[in-house]
Amino acid sequence: MTYELNHPEIRTAVSQLCERFPGRYWQECDRNQAYPQAFVTALTEAGYLAALIPEAYGGLSLPLSAGAAILEEIHRAGCNAAACHAQMYTMGTLLRHGSDAQKSKYLPQVAQGNLRLQAFGVTEPTSGTDTSALRCTARKEGQAYIVNGQKIWTSRAEHSDLLLLLARTTPLNQVEKRTEGLSVFLVDMREASESALSIRPIRTMMNHATTELFFDNLSVPQGNLIGEEGKGFRYILSGMNAERILIAAECIGDAKWFIEKASGYACERQVFGRAIGQNQGIQFPIAKAYSQMRAAELMLHEAIKLYDAGQNPGEEANLAKLLAAEAQWAAAEACLQTHGGFGFAEEYDIERKFREARLYQVAPISTNLILSYIAEHVLKMPRSFRRHIIYCWQIPKHQHARNLCFRALAATDHKICLRLSCAGRSQDRQAFL
């Protein structure tokens, strides 16, 4: 069926490009934990990574629906857009909140493929999803900001020229709201010395080119501050809906790939003298996964229509990502189960796609955070988590008394900062109880 937002001409062209990168290409990349350089180059040369950049800066000025179609088709073809998808939504922060000078300097080069804006430095080991608790700092000194701290799960940093960085410019104890005092910088990693910026790869269950970053007095020119100092959290949030929509499109593409693989194999595979797809135990999980995919697809289209119309579809974008990720995972499970032992063989590509699909239950936003958003902001229910800090001094050194104290504190469901004092020796401890 053809939909209003389908962009059939784009889908056909992307599909043809992806045929040049069959399963064995991705298997080799996966085996060697290698970045799919040739694939990203091909997408860049075809102009697809510049789809959302305005024509004034050398892009194609296409709507978000076109970007979603590109990414969905990549995944439907069995490829993986994780190596390059960030460019579509990270550049939005620069486009919406950057100065004319910044946009003129960087966006044409990004559109041409001379520069890559693929890295997004937000998450830290100590803060996790609590972005307001970031500890990476950017201190103003003259005409520059001096950055110190650490980022983790910063994918593609080794294969990107530019890094979009969120850092705290005003100490947490000096702001009225925790979300204030955070600023966004465009860091040119080509100019950073190895002593000021070190990048360490992290091996994961899928080939995601992710890293952790360490900043040691990294100097960032004042001119690379995006927008106003202290308002970076709002700037990052403004691009979150686009990110969720684009990721949802990838999940839909994966779901379609799994469903097509599963249904095709179920019709071909003969066991006990008949096709295994004749058995309801095989049929029904595939049919249910298809039903979930179609429902998620409709929500995705609703979110895209609202976004392209200039609205702020927070509910729809979050629901699209939630439903699409669940449909993707249901399809992955059905596909693996249908193939049985063959599903674990590298040559079938299912085990690779299965591992890749698991990510979207966790990132770029977890299922639980989406549910929390829906409960609080859509259904107007009380917030399910707290940010208040309780200070507890002189916890008893005797084990029984300490256990009673810990249990009482745990019942508060607050973030707890504990100062333990035992036998004259004091130690600071932080815990989420």
Domain ranges of the chain: 8-112, 117-236, 240-378, 389-432
Q: Would you call the peptide bond into 364 cis, given omega within 30 degrees of 0 as the criterion?
A: yes
pLDDT for residue 90 = 85
Closest residue by Cα to residue 398 from 389, 406, 408, 390: 406
CA-to-CA distance for 143 and 103, rounded, in angstroms?
A: 20
pLDDT tens, position by position, 332-352 = 999 999 999 999 999 999 999
The kind and range of the H/E element at 285 are helix 280-308
Q: Which fold has domain 117-236?
A: Butyryl-CoA Dehydrogenase, subunit A; domain 2 (2.40.110)
What number of helices (H) and strands (E) belong to the chain? 13, 13
CA-to-CA distance for 97 and 236, rounded, in angstroms?
A: 10
Distances 140 to 94, 182, 186, 257 between C-alpha atoms, Å: 21, 13, 15, 49
Q: How many whole angstroms from its chain centre is CA 249?
A: 13
**What is the phi/psi pair of residue 146, to 5°?**
-100, 115
Give this prediction's pTM: 0.87
Regions in the chain scoring below 50 on pLDDT:
1-3, 388-396, 408-409, 411-433
**CA–CA–CA angle 308, 85, 242 (5° rounding):** 25
pLDDT for residue 417 = 42
**What is the phi/psi pair of residue 314, to 5°?**
-60, -50
Alpha carbon dihedral 46, 50, 52, 56, in 10-degree steps, equals -120
Architecture of domain 240-378 in this structure:
Up-down Bundle (1.20)
pLDDT for residue 225 = 98
**What is the phi/psi pair of residue 79, to 5°?**
-90, -175
C-beta of residue 58 within 8 angstroms of C-beta of residue 47: no
C-beta of residue 230 within 8 angstroms of C-beta of residue 256: no
Instruction: Indicate the CATH number for domain 8-112.
Output: 1.10.540.10
> In sequence order, what are the residues at sequence separation of 6 or more whose Cβ sits closer than 8 angstroms to the Cβ of residue 399?
none
C-beta of residue 252 within 8 angstroms of C-beta of residue 65: no
**CA–CA–CA angle 350, 356, 360 (5° rounding):** 130
